[in-house]
Amino acid sequence: MFFNTLGTLYNTQKSLENFTSQVENKLFLTIEDVMNLTGWSKKTVENLFNQNDFPSCDYGKKKIVLTLAFINYFMTPHKKDA
């Protein structure tokens, strides 16, 4: 059990390092950036960007989200709309 916990912590650390390396020089994330970070489909990410409580905005023809706002959004629990 102890080694399973260590393995989980190691994998979490590696995932966090991967995430950090992908966003460290980006102030804003696009739909494509979020797709690459999460592995979600374009439609899923577009739906996320169109949610009223998600902190995205339109920049010309692109939708963007402040990287810090993206991180903060996923640090708080959200309920699915019924």
* pTM of structure: 0.69
> Where is pLDDT greater, at 54 or 23?
54
Confidence grade of residue 22 (pLDDT, cut at 50, 70, 90): low
pLDDT at position 42: 97
Q: Which structural domain range is residue 45 located in?
A: 25-77
Range 12-28 average pLDDT: 70
Cα–Cα distance measured from residue 26 to residue 68, given in angstroms and rounded to the nearest whole number? 10
Q: Which secondary-structure segment (H or E) carries 28?
A: strand 28-30
CATH number (domain holding residue 63): 1.10.10
| Domains of the chain: total | 1
Confidence grade of residue 16 (pLDDT, cut at 50, 70, 90): low
Mean predicted lDDT score pLDDT of the chain = 83
In a domain, 17, yes or no: no
In a domain, 10, yes or no: no
